C-alpha cells in the first residue's frame, strides 16, 4: 500500500491530506482564508501567499497527526504530492516548494499535480468502482468544463464556458446583491426562502451544443434588479440559482447522451450546491444512470483529491522531478 501526503495551495485554502492509495482518506485538513479576504470581497493574491506560508507547516503537521503519523526526520509517507497549477503563482509556490522540501528531506518521490485533474478525481474517492466513460461537469471559481473522463488520465473536452466560470457568476451576483463572500454558499442560503420563478431569466446557450456562458446572466440579474427594485434578494438569488442549475443539468445530460456515458459526475466548488446536486441526481435517475457526487467537502478545494490524482499519476506516469515548475496557467491535457 502506498501512503501519500498531498498539499493544496492553489488559491485561498491551505490544505494537506494523507491518503492510502487509491482512495482511503486518513486525514484531510483545510484551513480556509475566507476571514482574511472577506473585507475585500475576493481573494487578494498577496495576502493569500503570505497566509499559506504561515499555515503550511501547521496544516501539514495536523494532517499527519490525524493520520497517526509524525512530522519529523523519518519519512512518515511513501510519496509527497502538491498542486503545481493552475492557480495563483505565489500561492502555488508556497505549497509546491514545501512539498518538494519534504520529499527531498525524506528521500521519497515528489508528484506535481494539476489542480483540475484533482477535482476530476474527487468523485472517485467516494466512488472507487465507477464504470467508464463518465461525463464530469467541473464547475469551480476559475473553470467551467464538461469533460468525458474515458479513464483516469484520459479526458476528452466536450464543452467549456465562453466567458465567466459558473462559480465566478455566483460570486459576482452575490457581491452585487450584497450577500457576501464567497458567493456560492451565500446565494444558496438566500435562495432557500426565495421563489425561483420570480424572475424569468433566459437560460444562456441552452439549445446550443455543450459550451456555456454566464456573463450575460450576471448582466441580466443587474438589469432585472434595477427594473424591479421591489423584488427581494432571496427571490433574485433563487431565480439566478435555478437558471444556472437548469443550464448545467441540461448540458450535462446532453453530454451524457452524446458520448453514451456510463454515469455523470460533478466536481469543483459549485458542485457543493444543494439544488444542483438534487437536480442532477434526478435527471440521471430518469435516464437510468448513476450520478456520482463527491461529498461537499471533496467538491471545494482540498488536498485529498490532489493525493488521489497524485497516487494515480505516480503509478502510471512516474514521479515528477524536483525541478518541475509551478504553472499558474497549467492546462488540463485532453486526448484528441
Ligand atoms: O473549487 P473551488 O473551491 O476553488 C476553485 O478552484 O475555484 O471553487 C470555488 C467556487 C467559488 O466561486 C464559490 O462561490 C463556489 O465554488 N461555491 C459554490 C458553493 N460553494 C462554493 N457555488 C454554489 N453553491 C455552493 N454551495
Ligand atoms: Zn478548485
Instruction: State the 10-residue block means of pLDDT for the chain, 336 residues long.
Output: 97 96 96 88 91 97 98 97 98 98 98 98 92 97 96 97 97 95 96 97 89 96 96 98 98 98 97 98 98 96 98 97 97 93
The residue whose CB lies within 8 Å of the most ligand 1 atoms, and thus the one to mutate among 83, 92, 269, is: 269
Residue among 13, 10, 12, 33 at smallest CA distance from 92: 10
State the total domains in the chain: 2
Residue 272 is classified by DSSP as G
- How far, in Å, is the centroid of ligand 1 from the Cα of 63? 23
Ligand 1 atom 13 nearest Cα: 184
Clarify whether residues 28 and 80 are in a common domain.
yes
Number of H helices, E strands in the chain: 11, 10
pLDDT at 207: 84
158 Cα: distance to centroid of ligand 2 (angstroms)? 19
CA-142 nearest atom, ligand 1: 7
- Whether residue 329 lies inside any domain: the answer is no
Dist CA 166 CA 187 (whole Å): 13
Residue 230 shares a structural domain with residue 273 = yes
Residues 38 and 160 in one domain: no
Query: How far, in Å, from the CA of 249 to the mean position of ligand 1?
Result: 17
Give residue 228's pLDDT: 95
User: Does residue 105 sit in the same domain as residue 152?
Assistant: no
Q: Which ligand is nearest to the CA of 117?
A: 2
The answer to whether residues 151 and 79 belong to one domain is: no
Q: Do residues 256 and 159 both lie within one domain?
A: yes
Q: Is residue 227 part of a domain?
A: yes
Looking up residue 155, the CATH number of its domain turns out to be 3.30.420.40
Is 151 domain-assigned? yes
Is 278 among the domain residues? yes
Grid cell 476528452 in the structure block, residue? 156
Atom of ligand 1 nearest to the CA of 272: 26
What's the pLDDT at 42?
Answer: 85
Same domain, 143 and 284: yes
* Same domain for 304 and 284: no
Look at residue 7 in the predicted model and tell me its pLDDT. Answer: 98
At a CB cut-off of 8 Å and minimum separation 6, what does 152 contact?
121, 124, 312, 316
With respect to residue 208, please indicate whether it lies within any of the assigned structural domains: yes
Asked whether the CA dihedral 13, 112, 270, 278 is positive or negative, the reply is negative
Residues with CB under 6 A from ligand 1: 11, 140-142, 167, 170-171, 182-185, 188, 268-270, 272-273, 300-301
Instruction: Report yes or no on 124 lying in a domain.
Output: no
Domain span including residue 73: 3-119+300-317
Does residue 325 form part of some domain? Answer: no
Within a domain: 152: yes
Identify whether residues 144 and 281 lie together within a single domain. yes
In this structure, the answer to whether residues 85 and 145 fall within a common structural domain is: no
Residues 138/268, Cβ–Cβ less than 8 Å: yes
Identify which of 87, 120, 137, 184 to mutate to test ligand 1's pocket (most ligand atoms within 8 A of the CB).
Answer: 184
Q: Are residues 154 and 272 in the same domain?
A: yes
Same domain, residue pair 207 and 97: no
Give the model's pLDDT for residue 181.
Answer: 87
Amino acid at each position: 500500500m502506498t501512503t501519500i501526503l498531498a498539499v493544496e495551495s492553489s488559491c485561498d485554502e491551505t490544505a494537506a491530506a494523507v491518503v492510502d492509495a487509491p482512495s482511503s482518506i486518513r486525514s484531510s485538513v483545510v484551513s480556509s482564508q475566507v476571514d482574511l479576504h472577506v473585507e475585500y470581497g475576493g481573494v487578494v493574491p498577496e495576502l493569500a501567499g503570505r497566509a499559506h506560508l504561515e499555515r503550511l507547516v501547521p496544516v501539514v503537521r495536523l494532517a499527519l497527526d490525524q493520520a497517526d503519523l509524525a512530522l519529523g526526520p523519518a519519512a512518515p509517507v511513501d510519496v509527497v504530492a502538491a498542486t503545481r497549477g493552475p492557480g495563483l503563482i505565489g500561492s502555488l509556490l508556497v505549497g509546491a516548494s514545501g512539498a518538494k522540501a519534504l520529499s527531498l528531506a525524506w528521500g521519497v518521490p515528489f508528484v506535481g499535480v494539476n489542480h483540475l485533474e484533482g477535482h476530476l478525481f474527487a468523485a472517485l474517492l467516494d466512488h472507487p468502482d465507477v464504470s467508464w466513460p463518465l461525463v464530469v461537469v467541473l464547475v469551480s471559481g476559475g473553470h467551467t468544463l464538461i469533460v468525458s473522463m474515458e479513464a483516469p488520465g484520459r479526458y476528452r473536452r466536450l464543452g467549456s464556458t465562453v466567458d465567466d466560470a459558473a462559480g465566478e457568476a455566483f460570486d459576482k451576483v452575490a457581491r452585487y446583491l450584497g450577500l457576501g463572500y464567497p458567493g456560492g454558499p451565500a446565494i444558496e442560503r438566500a435562495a432557500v426562502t426565495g421563489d425561483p420563478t420570480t424572475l424569468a431569466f433566459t437560460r444562456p446557450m441552452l439549445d446550443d451544443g455543450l459550451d456555456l456562458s454566464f456573463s450575460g446572466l450576471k448582466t441580466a440579474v443587474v438589469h432585472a434588479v434595477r427594473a424591479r427594485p421591489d423584488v427581494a434578494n432571496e427571490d433574485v438569488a433563487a431565480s439566478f440559482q435555478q437558471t444556472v442549475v437548469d443550464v448545467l443539468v441540461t448540458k450535462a445530460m446532453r453530454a451524457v447522451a452524446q458520448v453514451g456515458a456510463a454515469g455523470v459526475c460533478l466536481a469543483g466548488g459549485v458542485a457543493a450546491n444543494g439544488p444542483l446536486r438534487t437536480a442532477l441526481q434526478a435527471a440521471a435517475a430518469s435516464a437510468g444512470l448513476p450520478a456520482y457526487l463527491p461529498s461537499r467537502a471533496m467538491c471545494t478545494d482540498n488536498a485529498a483529491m490532489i493525493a488521489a490524482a497524485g497516487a494515480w499519476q505516480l503509478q502510471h506516469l512516474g514521479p515528477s522531478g524536483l525541478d518541475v515548475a509551478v504553472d499558474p496557467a497549467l492546462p488540463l491535457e485532453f486526448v484528441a
